[in-house]
Amino acid sequence: MINNKIGIISCSGEECLGGTISRLAVRKMMEELKPGMVSTLCLPLFIAGDGGEREFAEKYPTIAVDGCSKCCAKRAIEKYSNQVAGSVDVAEIIGEDKALEKPLSTRHLTDEHHEYVNKTAAITCQIFDDILAKQ
């Protein structure tokens, strides 16, 4: 059940490293940086149309965190719900070439990858705080 009124959707992350980073950054926000304050919406579920995800993104500000410039999460929100309240493209943070490297399992992450996760999560948090300040 979704209680928090700012949503966040990560890219599904199966095609590239940027996707892996976006997923981990969203988890970091949810578990460490903004625990209990953010509603993560599952992108595959969002697309499948079940679970109230689309309705949530229609009513409440939702941030898209995408792994690369294809911006699947952002495009899905705009297609099925509403304009995004904020958008992060990991490729702009870590570079397009890096973002398009192969996706990784969390077990194979290096310090460099963790740094990318931290940067992405920090930028997403900033967007989150800006939205919260306006509410």
Partner 1 sequence: MSESICVLPCNGLDKCAGDLSRRVALELAQSAEVALICPVLLNQNRSRYEKALAAGDLTVIDGCNTRCASKLAGDLELAIKDKVNVSEVAKTLDIKLGVDIQENDDTRAVVQAVLAKVNSSAADQAESEFIEPEAVEYNSFSHGKFIFKVPQSNYFFNENDCWVTVSGNMARVGVSDYVQQNLSDILYVDPPEIGDEFEQFDDLGSIESSKAVFEIISPVSGTVVAVNSSLNDAPEQVNESPYEKGWLVEVKLRDFSEDQDLLHDCPAYFEFLQRKVAEIDV
Give the footprint of partner 1 on this chain (CB under 8 A).
10-15, 19, 23, 26-27, 31, 40-45, 47-48, 50-51, 70, 72-73, 75-76, 103-107
Supply the minimum distance, in Å, between the C-beta of residue 108 and partner 1.
Answer: 9
User: Looking at beta carbons only, is 76 or 94 nearer to partner 1?
Assistant: 76
Close Cβ partners of 74 (under 8 Å, ≥ 6 residues apart) = 64, 66, 84, 87
| Inter-axis angle of helices 111-134 and 17-28, nearest 10 | 50
Q: How many CB atoms lie within 10 A of CB 16?
A: 23
User: Looking at beta carbons only, is 55 or 133 nearer to partner 1?
Assistant: 55
User: Looking at beta carbons only, is 15 or 92 nearer to partner 1?
Assistant: 15
Contact 13, 65 (CB under 8 A): no
Amino acid, single-letter form, for residue 125: C
Supply the minimum distance, in Å, between the C-beta of residue 91 and partner 1.
Answer: 15
Supply the minimum distance, in Å, between the C-beta of residue 3 and partner 1.
Answer: 14
